[in-house]
Amino acid sequence: MAQRPYIVGNWKMNGSRAMLAEARAIDRAAARHPQVDIALAPPFPLIGLLREAVTGIGVGGQDCHTEAKGAHTGDVSAAMLADIGADFVILGHSERRRDHGESNALVRAKADAALAAGLGVIICVGETLEERDAGRAEDVVASQVDHSLPQGEVALEAVAGGKLAVAYEPVWAIGTGRVADVEDVIAMHAAVRARLHAAYDEAGARPRILYGGSVNAGNAAALLAAPEVGGALVGGASLTADAFLPIVAAAGAGEG
């Protein structure tokens, strides 16, 4: 089954009210690419403003807490994201796994909370260069998928309803300008799909598997044309409309 491509910009800890102009430009262009699902995930302070600035693209957070509310200074709950108008949340990004020691179990608990709050979820997985060089890339990613995916009845329903995506992001390709070989991406996405089926049976066909890691205007078309690449999670090239829109166009061209 062909899937609508999903192109998601992760602004990380970048952005300002002035940068909402970029989001508006991306939103205006979205009308030209009706066959592509487009979304941006700005830092928390900009989510509500971005929500009000755009109409044709999704808006998401980059993390959430496992609890709905309580004594957790500095944290933000999935319910709060939903309340402010977010559609989804990115969870388990390698920068959070690295900077905040997030484990697979914590990512899973956050995913459960996010789905319960009605948000879509993008679970990030990916191997380090050492793991790839040691020939362990597929094992590492398979284990991350197995242990990070949301579980239970709510999850199964949400997965069947298209609320889950997985982003394969080799850690060594994020922000480095180094992109994974298309053959390696194809192999890894097939491995992720197999783990999704193991977790959710037939519904495992539903989640889109995004590639992330130095995606740009020059390499997007080749990556997005690969089997089982259902879109892209884009960091650096999502910060301006000029850099992001060619990636969206490449996704749209593949659907033409």
Task: Say whether residue 15 binds ligand PEP (CB under 6 A).
Answer: no
Q: Please identify, among the stretches 31-39, 154-162, 231-239, 240-248, the one whose residues bind ligand PEP according to the rule CB under 6 A.
A: 231-239
Task: Say whether residue 233 binds ligand PEP (CB under 6 A).
Answer: yes
What is the spatial distance between Cα 140 and Cα 214, in angstroms, rounded to a whole number? 21
CB of 201 to ligand PEP, least distance (A): 29
Task: Say whether residue 169 binds ligand PEP (CB under 6 A).
Answer: yes
CB of 109 to ligand PEP, least distance (A): 21
- Catalytic residue list: 93, 169
Task: Say whether residue 236 binds ligand PEP (CB under 6 A).
Answer: yes
CB of 214 to ligand PEP, least distance (A): 4
- Phi, psi (5° rounding) for residue 48? -65, -40
Q: What is the distance, to the nearest Å, from the Cα of residue 88 to the centroid of all Cα atoms in its chain?
A: 9
Please give the radius of gyration of the chain, using alpha carbons only, rounded to the nearest integer.
17
Residue 30's CB: how many other CB atoms inside 10 A? 21
Between 114 and 239, CB nearer to ligand PEP: 239
Q: Look at residues 208, 194, 114 and name the one whose alpha carbon lies nearest to residue 154.
A: 114
Contact assessment for residue 232 and residue 215, using Cβ atoms and an 8 Å cutoff: yes
3, 5, 10, 180: which one binds ligand PEP (CB under 6 A)? 10
CB of 169 to ligand PEP, least distance (A): 5
The DSSP output letter for 167 is E
Give the residue at shortest CB distance from ligand PEP. Answer: 235
152, 175, 218, 227: which one binds ligand PEP (CB under 6 A)? 175
Residues from 29 through 68 that contact ligand PEP (CB under 6 A): none
What is the spatial distance between Cα 39 and Cα 120, in angstroms, rounded to a whole number? 12
Q: What is the distance, to the nearest Å, from the Cα of residue 56 to the centroid of all Cα atoms in its chain?
A: 18
End-to-end CA distance of the chain, in Å?
16
Residues that bind ligand PEP (CB under 6 A): 10, 12, 169, 174-175, 212-215, 233-237
